[in-house]
Chains A and B, each alone.
Chain A
């Protein structure tokens, strides 16, 4: 088994996949806690469908570099969705569902109408489930991903206390002089960036899992915001690592394997939490 792994790791693309996978898992889990608590668990799913729609548009108008367009569209949608939790006419979950389903449908429609490749369902499948894109990363993409992850992590560290205040009680934060809207905007932009990044790893459909599973697992056991955040980051990274290794060893799809490991971790943490409560009671 170790030999087999050693053999695979002699290929640079496998090493790239591992590095990028772990970095994206780390970034998505950091903001996962905030999203779950703000009742925006499904935003990952919604935004990734938006990114899918944008990719379809990019394909139709023959853009060679689709990244800027996808990123711009996703950021705008993220800002619109997260702008305010309370005073919008269409509430959080409904708005996310609307945008997500709408973008998916329009994207698929466009791809169908203006399809250039003969293997349409294959294209759609690989965008949604991210089948092989993680194994075709170039060195530049790895560096880009690494740099963005560092930026996200530093941002999170520096604004950790502000993110906490804004998540726990936005009204109080605003009333006592924290610029809550600015931070909400920043959080939305960063989440959009993470999702566009993560699409490369697990594909649109499985991004939600990367965002919410580690956070939910951590919340089963830990009780302060700091410990939940730290734990979810660790869980996410470990699960991504195990998932990628397993997928290499057994030739399974990367995204689905990572999510399967995340689900297992969630079950374990739920059990732990239950046992802890029983012991205390």
Chain B
């Protein structure tokens, strides 16, 4: 059974639909990039998948033993977070919060998991550092480690490379690819960068204008068929 099944989902705010009749399904271990123009509803779709917003119509179902609260999430950074006084360890550990229930304190296992994910992200030397003093790329790694604490199955990433320079961007993509391949975690990523999307993802979901969902090969074939270079119709 698929991990996520979107069935004729429509999304919108205050009765204005921005996305109509979207249906797709994702299997465990897939890597799907969501692309589309600004305002086409990419972030809204992601918020819907996370259960932060309910769809105007249609249903989102989870299968394959995946609970909605087991999805790791890398949100776009907010202004509040940029000057938040918190250490790297505190932030990564807060990824375990969802499983806590009413337990007030973290267990040894939670702390070990946090340290393990910090190690995976290659930020062990920063563990005691203050989040707001880190570079953009380091901050993203911290948030990625936090997301990994919340999930072992699926990661949703909302423009993980926005505001990063080309070198750090490439490292970030490699890191996400490693998580996907090594840990077999399903990746759903919003991206503006068609080139990277085509390179790393095995599925493409294009929303806004003409809806498209299929494998990357199908997407490329379709783009070739309408005579456009991949990415040629897009502008960031």
Contacts and interface: CB of A to CB of B under 8 A. Distances in A.
B99 interface: yes
Contacts of A222: 85
Contacts of B47: 171
Interface in B89-106: 90-91, 93-95, 97-100, 104-106
Interface string A8-42: 00000000000000000000000000000111000
Interface string A216-252: 0001001111101000000000000000000000000
Nearest to A33: B85
A28 to B, nearest CB: 18
Contacts of B151: 176
Contacts of B71: 175-176
A24 to B, nearest CB: 24
A221 B214 CA distance: 52
Interface in A157-195: 157-162, 164-165, 168-169, 171-178
A158 B104 contact: yes
Contacts of B133: 223
Contact of B90 (A38, A157, A173, A226): A226
A70 B47 CA distance: 38
Determine the main DSSP class of A at the interface with B: helix
A175 B97 contact: no
A165 B106 CA distance: 13
Kindly state the interface size class of chain B when it binds its partner: 35 or more
A171 B69 contact: no
A23 to B, nearest CB: 22
A192 to B, nearest CB: 22
Nearest to A38: B80
A159 B105 CA distance: 8
Nearest to A221: B85
A172 B84 CA distance: 15
A168 B94 contact: yes
Contact of A174 (B52, B95, B104): B52
A33 to B, nearest CB: 8
Given A157-B104, A168-B81, A175 B73 contact: yes
A168 B75 contact: no
A231 to B, nearest CB: 10
Contact of B98 (A164, A173, A226): A173
B63 interface: no
B146 interface: yes
Contacts of B36: none
Contacts of B94: 161, 164-165, 168-169, 173
A177 B99 contact: yes
B51 A175 contact: yes
Residue from the set B69, B85, B105 with the largest chain A CB neighbour count within 10 Å = B85
A230 to B, nearest CB: 12
Interface in B50-69: 50-52, 67-69
Given A175-B50, A176-B95, A223-B129, 19 more contacts: A37-B84, A38-B80, A158-B104, A161-B93, A162-B97, A164-B86, A164-B90, A169-B75, A174-B52, A175-B51, A176-B70, A176-B151, A177-B68, A177-B70, A219-B85, A222-B85, A224-B85, A224-B87, A224-B90
Task: Give the top 8 A-B pairs by smallest Cβ distance, nearest first.
Answer: A177-B69, A177-B98, A176-B98, A223-B130, A224-B87, A175-B50, A176-B150, A158-B104
Interface of A: 37-39, 157-162, 164-165, 168-169, 171-178, 219, 222-226, 228
